[in-house]
Amino acid sequence: MAESGDTWEKEDKLRRRFEKQVSLTLHCRIVTPMFLGDAEQKAALRPEPFKGLLRYWWRVAAGRSFSGHKEMLEEETKIFGGGGEKARKSLVTIKVDGNVLATKSNLLPTDKIYHPEAHPPRSSRKGMDISPLCYLAGMGLTHPDGQRVKRSYLPVENSFVIKLFFPRTLLEESAFKVALLYFCAFGSVGSRSRNGWGSFQVEKVEPEDWLQEISNANFIKILQNDFPHWRKCFDKSYPYTLAKGDDGKALLWKAEGFKSWQEAMKFLAEVYVYIRTGEPQKWHKWSRQTKLDPDAQNFIAERHLLGFPLTNHPAHKARWKRLASPLRFFVRRKNTKYTAFILHLSYFIESAQRFILQNDQIKLWQKVHERLDQTMQRASINDCL
């Protein structure tokens, strides 16, 4: 009987929390083509990916409050739901509305960029011009010309609405509010969203005063001052916080003034090639650097930590299947101009420990930061909103 009473009390407490629900409406616009699909990979607006994205940013916002991932997962399940022995229903409901029609229209062409390690099919000659859009999308989304797509997508400039419903008590938790801020600031969703695809911009929030409350300059300054130094973030093997560099600024970079999303994406591709190979495009005045790792074919090396698998740099003996990149690209639009962003989430890639020790991983990211500092400017979270 005692257990039954405890269960009733918990359910009643949960019911009372739902009775005090609040709603938040985000008016959004698609900035780069969104390859967001259903089970048959047909492009469609669905709430599940956006809820998954909010969960992701909650982990980043709340991660420092927990000693390990098990404790964090337990609290995450209380908020967002989960299965297993401690199955719970989510306290957060997300609905997505918008009349966005999917298309398979060709993308507009962009000027090609030079990749010193790419080579034509069935040729050993190194170095060729490639499509920057294909480079960021991969062969799964586009053909090599970067124009013809293999899957339908949601086109740019279309607007949609995200509606969130959750207990008012969640707004009293700083981690949830910061997660919502990160969601608005860094949002991109769908296939290759880490490479800039599926970027969306939150143009209006209802109620209007909510975003103003946590995106004012003073709040952002306090938030960023509290970020740990990035070298201290290698104590955990998953992204759990934003970090700052030696100058005290967040590990967030921007490049402004592009006339189209294609130009912004092309620039991100140029930077990515430079980070990996050390070879700048001829129209940039970036200094030439050594490429990340030798041509390792069997073992994990530096470049694999930027994301795995890599097309021409296998690591057969590592037995890895996939590693998400700690770098996140996204694009924002202000008035008629576009801005390209890169965010680095620092953490220790434990599965690489056998091949690349922690100190060596830190040395790798030091190189990456130096190249980003040379090609882009440091940014604030406010620049993304």
pLDDT, tens digit, 9 for 90 and up, residues 132-148: 999 999 878 999 999 99
Number of domains within the chain: 3
- First and final C-alpha spacing in the chain: 53
**CA-to-CA distance for 13 and 27, rounded, in angstroms?**
32
Where would I find the H helices in the chain?
A: 2-19, 47-62, 69-80, 132-137, 174-186, 208-215, 217-225, 261-277, 358-375
Same domain, 89 and 119: no
User: Are 291 and 276 contacting, i.e. CB atoms less than 8 angstroms apart?
Assistant: yes
Give whole-number Cα distances, 55 to 176, 198, 296, 335, in Å.
10, 17, 36, 30
Rounded percentage of the chain residues whose pLDDT exceeds 90: 69
Amino acid at 21: Q
What is the length of the chain? 385
Residue 314 lies in a domain: yes
In a domain? residue 220: no
* Residue 272 CB contacts under 8 Å (≥ 6 apart), including other chains: 135, 136, 329
Last residue of a domain, one of 215, 244, 270: 215
Is 222 domain-assigned? no
pLDDT tens per residue across span 342-373: 999 999 988 777 677 788 899 999 999 999 99
Is residue 284 domain-shared with residue 352, that is, in the same domain? yes
Q: Are strands 327-334 and 128-130 parallel, antiparallel or unpaired?
A: unpaired
Q: Is residue 7 part of a domain?
A: no
Write phi, then psi, for 199 (nearest 5 degrees).
-70, 135
Whether 99 and 155 map to the same domain: the answer is yes
Q: Does one domain contain both 186 and 93?
A: yes
- Is residue 104 over pLDDT 80? yes
The answer to whether residue 108 sits within a structural domain is no
- Quick one: which of 255, 260, 267 has its CA closest to 33? 260
In this model, does residue 302 exceed pLDDT 90?
A: no
pLDDT of residue 17: 55
Distance CA 105, CA 366 (A): 41
How do 377-378 and 252-258 pair as beta strands?
Answer: antiparallel
Residues 162 and 138 in one domain: no
**pLDDT (average), residues 62-74:** 94
Q: What's the average model confidence in pLDDT over 278-293?
A: 94
- Residue 13: the pLDDT is 59
Rounded Cα gap, residues 345 and 56, in angstroms: 12
Domain membership of residue 233 (yes or no) is yes
CATH number at residue 98: 3.30.70
Calculate helix-pair angle for 208-215, 174-186, nearest 10 degrees.
Answer: 100
119 and 87 housed in the same domain = no
With respect to residue 340, please indicate whether it lies within any of the assigned structural domains.
yes
Q: Give the residue numbers spanning the domain of 312.
A: 228-385
* 3 belongs to a structural domain: no
Enumerate the β-bridge partners of residue 244.
229, 250
* 91 shares a domain with 126: no
Question: What is the widest separation between alpha-carbon atoms in the chain?
Answer: 77
Where residue 6 falls among pLDDT bands split at 50, 70, 90? Answer: low
Q: Tell which of 183, 215, 247 closes a domain.
A: 215
Averaged over 313-340, what is the pLDDT? 88
Residue in this structure with the two tokens 């940013």, named with its chain if needed: 57
d(CA 174, CA 180): 10
How many Å apart are CA 10 and CA 16, to the nearest integer? 10
- For the record, the structure tokens of 138 come out as 């991969």
Residues in CB range of 33: below 8 A, 6 or more apart? 107, 153, 154, 155, 156, 197, 198
Q: Cα 55–168–30 angle (5° rounding)?
A: 45
What distance in Å separates the CA atoms of residue 322 and residue 331, rounded to the nearest whole number?
A: 25
Whether residues 320 and 355 share a domain: the answer is yes
Same domain (yes/no): 269, 342: yes
130 & 273 share domain: no
Residues 175 and 211 in one domain: yes
214, 224 in Cβ contact below 8 A?
Answer: no
pLDDT, tens digit, for every residue of 217-256? 888 888 999 999 999 999 999 999 999 998 899 999 999 9
201: Cα separation from own chain's centroid? 14
Which of 185, 215, 245 delimits the end of a domain? Answer: 215
The verdict on 163 and 253 lying in the same domain is: no
